[in-house]
Amino acid sequence: MSNFFTGLLRFRRGPWEMVATILIALGVFMLMQPFVMWGYTYSFITTLIGTVMFIVVSHFPK
């Protein structure tokens, strides 16, 4: 677990890609859920932020 946080602080690709992937998955889940309207409202922006973040962090060093 400490390797994960160390990777985040040193801007390494692996941990940041995991965070971006979780954001994308969260956005898709928010889009498909039928329970709360705010989840559906912010699902696109959450997915968009995760996608742009994934593109940016794919250029980080391993």
User: What pLDDT, in 10s, does the model give residues 4-33?
Assistant: 889 888 888 999 999 999 999 999 999 999
pLDDT digits (tens, 9 = 90+) for 39-60: 999 999 999 999 999 999 999 8
pTM tops 0.85, yes or no? yes
Residue 20, burial from CB neighbour count under 10 angstroms (0-12, 13-18, 19+): buried
Q: Which residue has the tokens 């391993």?
A: 62
For residues 61 and 49, give the distance between their C-alpha atoms in angstroms, rounded to a whole number. Answer: 21
